[in-house]
């Protein structure tokens, strides 16, 4: 109990008024180079946000989007727990619709914030925190849609999105700007995922076991390879050749611009290194039964909280201009799991499937409780400091917003002023 009290006190001390004061000068910054976002989806998002009532808080918009993913993960457990299928066609279409609605609400929550005059640093923390939770969960739907099952390929598909999310968060910490390239995960990546889900719904997930040449020819290039054979190369290759180099370049430029040393920032890759290495050591161990016993969903749900805690701490440090957080207590049981799954390598007897399963279940409970306790503590501290609500709009904010629209109707404000207040355009600016 005293240790828990010390942890709570440490969190509260790390969120003192002197530290949170940076939130009052908060200004969201982002660059989105995607042609699809800028010339097509932007118009859809601008039209969609007008359908939302002005009393709906932007963080609630974010949460509603996440609910579409959570519901579909539940549907996976009910109708296709083996992640292989084939499931009913409507299930794959539900995946696609859920990811589309998540993407839509994730892109209009910032517009809703500007539209209601409720932009704050809490919005970025909440938005990107939900994105971190969603990394493994939405990708789990992709695993099911392609019929990969509880296999090493299925685990790769479900967990690989954590890498680009971490490095984008690391990049934002140093540059204070979210950079999205010409081809990026939140836009083109999700559109590809949605397309795959729709194709699986129409043709069945077995289509991904067919040879590529059956659809696009070019046998001299693809030979006998199936879509599954090329999946790891395409996904991992795009991350290593496009996303990671861009993140590193932007961080290096930002550090040099501030006359700060560059090499020390690469030590900050330690958390994702330990996270990734421990997952590989545990799941891919020949002595682990998690994949063979079809525990991938349980594992990914657990990892969503572990990874969410890791990245959210970085986002909070970015917003409050604090040192980079290298450690989260939720990593410790993951290292323990990697050790547990490899006991025979150390001359110890292999644990039973039952013991490993209960260890993972206990880990999930611990991760959920620790994550929610920390999240609620941080949200409560920030909302108290800024005098705002998290999931609702305070009455005084609503009155100020209504005055803007009323003055515009009476001709007291020009169009330029209203646009400045309502924030037309832009990307997810809370």
Question: Are residue 332 and residue 408 in the same domain, yes or no?
Answer: no
User: Is there a domain that residue 72 lies in?
Assistant: yes
Question: Are residue 163 and residue 78 in the same domain, yes or no?
Answer: yes
The boundaries of the domain holding residue 413 are: 395-425
Question: Are residue 176 and residue 288 in the same domain, yes or no?
Answer: yes
Element spanning 224, H or E? none
Question: Are residue 84 and residue 205 in the same domain, yes or no?
Answer: yes
Question: Are residue 408 and residue 326 in the same domain, yes or no?
Answer: no
**DSSP string for 161-204:** THHHHHHHHHHHHHHSSEEE-SS-IIIIIHHHHHHHHHHHHHH-
User: Is there a domain that residue 165 lies in?
Assistant: yes
Share of the chain above pLDDT 70, in %: 88
Number of domains in the chain: 2
pLDDT, tens only, 131-161:
999 999 999 999 999 999 999 999 999 999 9
User: Is there a domain that residue 44 lies in?
Assistant: yes
- pLDDT given for residue 425 in this prediction: 35
pLDDT, tens only, 54-68:
999 999 999 999 999
Statement: residue 415 has pLDDT above 50: no
**What is the Cα–Cα distance from 268 to 271, expressed in whole angstroms?**
7
pLDDT, tens only, 89-135:
999 999 999 999 999 999 999 999 999 988 889 999 999 999 999 99
DSSP code, position 226 = B
- Find residue 32's DSSP bridge partners: 180
**What is the Cα–Cα distance from 23 to 120, expressed in whole angstroms?**
7
Query: How large is the average pLDDT for residues 237-260?
Result: 94
- List the catalytic residue out of 22, 43, 128, 210: 128
User: Is there a domain that residue 160 lies in?
Assistant: yes
DSSP code, position 211 = B
Reference 58, options 24, 14, 107; nearest CA is 107
Question: Are residue 399 and residue 303 in the same domain, yes or no?
Answer: no
**DSSP string for 62-90:** HHHHHHHHHHHHHHHHHH-TTS-----HH
Query: How large is the average pLDDT for residues 298-326?
Result: 95
Query: How large is the average pLDDT for residues 36-58?
Result: 95
Question: Are residue 72 and residue 129 in the same domain, yes or no?
Answer: yes
- pLDDT given for residue 427 in this prediction: 39
Tokens matching residue 235:
């996904």
Residue-averaged pLDDT of the chain: 88
**What is the Cα–Cα distance from 220 to 326, expressed in whole angstroms?**
47
User: Is there a domain that residue 430 lies in?
Assistant: no
Statement: residue 6 has pLDDT above 60: no
Higher pLDDT, 397 or 279: 279
Residue bearing tokens 């002023």 = 417
Statement: residue 5 has pLDDT above 90: no
Q: How confident is the model at residue 421 (pLDDT cuts 50, 70, 90)?
A: very low
Tokens matching residue 417:
């002023």
Label residues 263-301 b or e (16+ Cβ within 10 Å = b).
eebeebeebbebbbebbebbbebeebbbbeebbbbbbbb
Question: Are residue 116 and residue 20 in the same domain, yes or no?
Answer: yes
Q: How confident is the model at residue 422 (pLDDT cuts 50, 70, 90)?
A: very low
Alpha-carbon separation of residue 26 from 63, 251, 340 (angstroms): 22, 20, 44
DSSP code, position 402 = H
Alpha-carbon separation of residue 301 from 136, 138, 307, 365 (angstroms): 7, 11, 10, 11
Query: How large is the average pLDDT for residues 251-267?
Result: 95
Reference 359, options 329, 337, 342; nearest CA is 337
**What is the Cα–Cα distance from 358 to 365, expressed in whole angstroms?**
11
- pLDDT given for residue 417 in this prediction: 43
Element spanning 221, H or E? helix 219-222
Question: Are residue 85 and residue 131 in the same domain, yes or no?
Answer: yes
pLDDT, tens only, 173-230:
999 999 988 888 889 999 999 999 999 999 999 999 888 887 777 776 777 788 888 8
Question: Are residue 388 and residue 405 in the same domain, yes or no?
Answer: no
Statement: residue 405 has pLDDT above 80: no
**What is the Cα–Cα distance from 18 to 216, expressed in whole angstroms?**
60
Sign of the Cα pseudo-torsion (217, 219, 221, 227, in order): positive
Reference 177, options 19, 27, 23; nearest CA is 27
43 is catalytic: no
Statement: residue 403 has pLDDT above 80: no
Q: How confident is the model at residue 18 (pLDDT cuts 50, 70, 90)?
A: confident
- pLDDT given for residue 228 in this prediction: 86
Q: How confident is the model at residue 424 (pLDDT cuts 50, 70, 90)?
A: very low
Question: Are residue 109 and residue 251 in the same domain, yes or no?
Answer: yes
Query: How large is the average pLDDT for residues 277-297?
Result: 95
Q: How confident is the model at residue 402 (pLDDT cuts 50, 70, 90)?
A: low
User: Is there a domain that residue 6 lies in?
Assistant: yes
Residues sharing a CB contact under 8 Å with residue 359, sequence separation 6 or more, in sequence order: 336, 337, 340, 351
Q: How confident is the model at residue 420 (pLDDT cuts 50, 70, 90)?
A: very low
Instruction: Give the dihedral of Cα atoms 386, 392, 393, 396; nearest 10 deg.
Output: -80
**What is the Cα–Cα distance from 230 to 226, expressed in whole angstroms?**
7
Query: How large is the average pLDDT for residues 389-393?
Result: 92
Q: How confident is the model at residue 314 (pLDDT cuts 50, 70, 90)?
A: very high
User: Is there a domain that residue 255 lies in?
Assistant: yes
Higher pLDDT, 274 or 228: 274
Question: Are residue 236 and residue 106 in the same domain, yes or no?
Answer: yes
- pLDDT given for residue 24 in this prediction: 85
Sign of the Cα pseudo-torsion (378, 382, 388, 393, in order): negative
**What is the Cα–Cα distance from 120 to 123, expressed in whole angstroms?**
5
């Amino acid at each position: 109990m005293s240790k828990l009290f010390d942890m709570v006190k440490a969190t509260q001390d790390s969120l003192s008024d002197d530290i949170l004061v940076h939130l009052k000068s908060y200004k969201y910054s982002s660059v989105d180079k995607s042609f699809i976002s800028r010339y097509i989806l932007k118009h859809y998002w601008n039209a969609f946000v007008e359908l939302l009532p002005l009393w709906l808080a932007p963080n609630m918009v974010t949460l509603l989007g996440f609910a579409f993913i959570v519901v579909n993960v539940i549907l996976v457990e009910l109708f296709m727990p083996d992640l292989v299928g084939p499931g009913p066609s409507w299930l794959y279409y539900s995946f696609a619709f859920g990811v589309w609605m998540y993407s839509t609400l994730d892109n209009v929550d910032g517009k809703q914030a500007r539209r209601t005059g409720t932009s704050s640093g809490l919005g970025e923390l909440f938005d990107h925190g939900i994105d971190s939770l969603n990394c493994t969960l939405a990708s789990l739907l992709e695993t099911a849609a392609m019929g990969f099952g509880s296999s090493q390929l299925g685990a790769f598909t479900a967990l690989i999105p954590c890498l680009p999310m971490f490095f984008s968060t690391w990049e934002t910490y140093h540059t204070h700007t979210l950079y999205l390239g010409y081809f990026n995960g939140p836009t083109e990546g999700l559109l590809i995922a949605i397309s795959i889900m729709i194709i699986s719904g129409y043709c069945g997930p077995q289509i991904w076991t067919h040879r590529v040449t059956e659809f696009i020819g070019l046998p001299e290039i693809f030979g006998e390879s199936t879509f599954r054979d090329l999946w790891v190369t395409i996904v991992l290759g795009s991350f290593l050749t496009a996303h990671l180099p861009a993140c590193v370049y932007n961080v290096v430029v930002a550090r040099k611009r501030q006359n700060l040393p560059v090499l020390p920032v690469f030590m900050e890759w330690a958390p994702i290194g330990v996270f990734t290495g421990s997952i590989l050591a545990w799941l891919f161990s020949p002595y682990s039964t998690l994949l063979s016993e079809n525990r991938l969903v349980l594992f990914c749900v657990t990892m969503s909280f572990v990874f969410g805690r890791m990245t959210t701490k970085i986002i909070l440090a970015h917003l409050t201009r604090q040192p980079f957080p290298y450690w989260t207590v939720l990593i410790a049981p993951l290292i323990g799991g990697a050790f547990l799954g490899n006991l025979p390598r150390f001359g110890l007897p292999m644990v039973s499937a039952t013991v490993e399963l209960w260890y993972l279940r206990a880990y999930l409970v611990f991760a959920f409780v620790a994550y929610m306790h920390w999240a609620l503590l941080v949200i409560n501290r920030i909302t108290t400091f800024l005098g705002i609500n998290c999931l609702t709009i305070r009455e005084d904010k609503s009155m100020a917003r209504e005055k803007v629209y009323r003055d515009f109707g009476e001709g007291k404000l020009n169009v330029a002023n209203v646009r400045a207040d309502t924030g037309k355009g832009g990307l997810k600016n809370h």
